[in-house]
């Protein structure tokens, strides 16, 4: 409820909301950590249902609506895009309407609930980032140990993780987030003696990214990391020490492994992505405005190969949702970027979102999905970013 009506609210209602705020605050930490250790998409969704959806359900439908508490125009833009995607199933596979509508409901509670949480109980973002770094580093080293030492796979084999991050590409994307946040922390810290500690966490989280041999994610991580350094402009002794340490680690990696042969074997091919994208862009011209419509179990057949999405979220949106869907998705993204800030709490969220968008450019499907690894690339940073911005505007007023 709003602060203006807080004093007149029944004490029982206040206690329930305070309890749900504490429940959801813990749930946020637990949910974000689950991306690294969950045994699959189903356990991840169970964490979301039990620790976020339930406390939001106990409060949000039963209180007066105040737009500024629920993300205002950020949430409106996101749910308009998602709502259009649900409607697009009617001219794709009408039987899938219920499936996509359920995903819209989950997304609505995530965005509205997260904004409500931050509005009434500010979350320590630096502590949240640190949790992601530490959990990411521990799980990263554990995954590498289990795959290459315990299971004794050859070093040339692409790293597969456990559970949710079983796929090599997903391994790279998820651990890349932790690596990026740790690297940003190493640049932002006011105590230069702490910078090497953050940087070591970043290197630990980056090991699965490299060993997964996922080139698109590696490019995204390097590019966004370079932008972070340009924006933060750390002390010279920070970036010099990092450069020396990185050179030592990379040199050791090439000397102790057959990484040169691995890179030569992977080559610079796009793994049929260019073929898929060109084919779908050509097909999209048949339904350019509204797209062919969404289907729950979509299949794309290109040159006798079957794919379930375009391996590019933006091409996927254009193909299934047309120019209208693509414009609505861009509207949401541009709204978020319009308030860009160098603030040390908010900047990591913008860079996380940028990293996620680049990753989804090389491996992603439509953004309207159940809580899964793709959420970690877009809806998680987008939702937290909108919630933080709106809560800070409330503090300013």
| pLDDT interval class at 5 (50, 70, 90) | very low
Please state the rounded mean pLDDT for residues 221-230.
94
pLDDT at res. 124: 94
Phi and psi at residue 366, to the nearest 5° = -55, 145
| pLDDT at 39 exceeding the cut of 90 | no
Please state the rounded mean pLDDT for residues 369-373.
91
Per the CB < 8 A criterion, the answer to whether 114 and 142 are in contact is no
Written as six digits, the tokens of 332 are: 């949401």
pLDDT digits 0-9 by tens, 297-345: 877 777 767 777 788 999 999 999 999 999 999 999 999 999 899 999 9
**Which range has the worst mean pLDDT, 126-135, 187-196, 309-318?**
187-196
Return the closest-CA partner of residue 320 out of 288, 352, 346: 288
| pLDDT at 184 exceeding the cut of 60 | yes
Per the CB < 8 A criterion, the answer to whether 390 and 117 are in contact is no
Average pLDDT taken over every residue of the chain:
88
How many beta carbons lie within 10 A of that of residue 52, not counting itself? 24
Can you tell me which residue has the tokens 């796009």?
270
**Cα 257-262-264 angle, rounded to 5 deg:** 130
| pLDDT at 243 exceeding the cut of 70 | yes
Return the closest-CA partner of residue 375 out of 107, 133, 139: 107
H runs (alpha helix) in the chain? 11-37, 41-48, 54-57, 72-88, 97-120, 125-144, 168-188, 195-211, 215-232, 236-256, 259-266, 273-284, 313-338, 347-362, 373-377, 379-396
Can you tell me which residue has the tokens 């909301």?
17
How many beta carbons lie within 10 A of that of residue 120, not counting itself? 20
Among 96-105, 158-167, 212-221, top mean pLDDT goes to 96-105
Dist. CA 346–CA 332, nearest whole Å: 17
DSSP lists the bridge partners of residue 236 as none
Among 12-21, 270-279, 327-336, top mean pLDDT goes to 327-336
For the chain, the C-alpha Rg in angstroms (whole number) is 22
Dist. CA 232–CA 366, nearest whole Å: 33
- Domain boundaries along the sequence of the chain: 70-94+270-396, 126-258
């Amino acid at each position: 409820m709003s602060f203006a009506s807080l004093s007149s609210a029944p004490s029982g209602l206040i206690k329930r909301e305070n309890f749900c705020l504490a429940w959801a605050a813990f749930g946020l930490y637990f949910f974000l950590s689950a991306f690294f250790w969950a045994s699959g998409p189903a356990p991840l969704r169970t964490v979301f249902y039990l620790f976020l959806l339930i406390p939001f359900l106990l409060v949000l439908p039963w209180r007066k609506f105040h737009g500024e508490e629920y993300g205002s125009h950020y949430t409106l833009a996101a749910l308009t895009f998602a709502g259009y995607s649900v409607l697009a199933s009617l001219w794709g596979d009408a039987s899938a309407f219920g499936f996509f509508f359920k995903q819209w409901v989950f997304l609505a509670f995530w965005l509205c609930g997260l904004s409500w949480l931050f509005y009434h109980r500010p979350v320590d973002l630096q502590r949240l980032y640190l949790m992601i770094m530490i959990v990411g580093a521990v799980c990263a080293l554990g995954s590498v140990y289990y795959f290459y030492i315990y299971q004794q796979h050859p070093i040339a084999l692409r790293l597969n993780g456990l559970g949710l991050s079983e796929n090599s590409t997903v391994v790279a994307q998820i651990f890349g987030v932790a690596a990026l946040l740790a690297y940003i922390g190493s640049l932002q810290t006011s105590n230069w003696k702490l910078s090497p500690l953050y940087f070591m966490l970043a290197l630990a989280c980056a090991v699965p990214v490299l060993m997964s041999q996922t080139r698109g994610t590696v490019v995204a991580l390097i590019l966004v990391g370079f932008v972070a350094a340009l924006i933060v402009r750390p002390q010279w002794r920070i970036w010099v020490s990092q450069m020396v340490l990185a050179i030592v680690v990379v040199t050791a990696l090439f000397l102790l492994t057959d990484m040169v042969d691995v890179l030569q074997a992977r080559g610079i091919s796009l793994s049929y992505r260019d073929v898929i994208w060109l084919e779908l862009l050509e097909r999209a011209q048949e339904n350019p405005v509204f797209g062919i419509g969404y289907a729950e179990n979509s299949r794309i057949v290109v040159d006798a190969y079957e794919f379930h999405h375009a391996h590019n979220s933006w091409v996927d949106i254009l193909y299934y949702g047309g120019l209208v869907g693509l414009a609505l998705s861009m509207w949401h993204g541009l709204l978020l970027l319009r308030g860009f800030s160098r603030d040390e709490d908010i900047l990591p969220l913008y860079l996380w979102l940028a990293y996620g968008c680049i990753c989804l450019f090389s491996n992603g499907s439509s953004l309207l999905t159940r809580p899964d690894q793709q959420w970690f690339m877009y809806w998680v940073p987008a939702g937290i970013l909108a919630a933080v911005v709106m809560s800070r505007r409330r503090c300013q007023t």
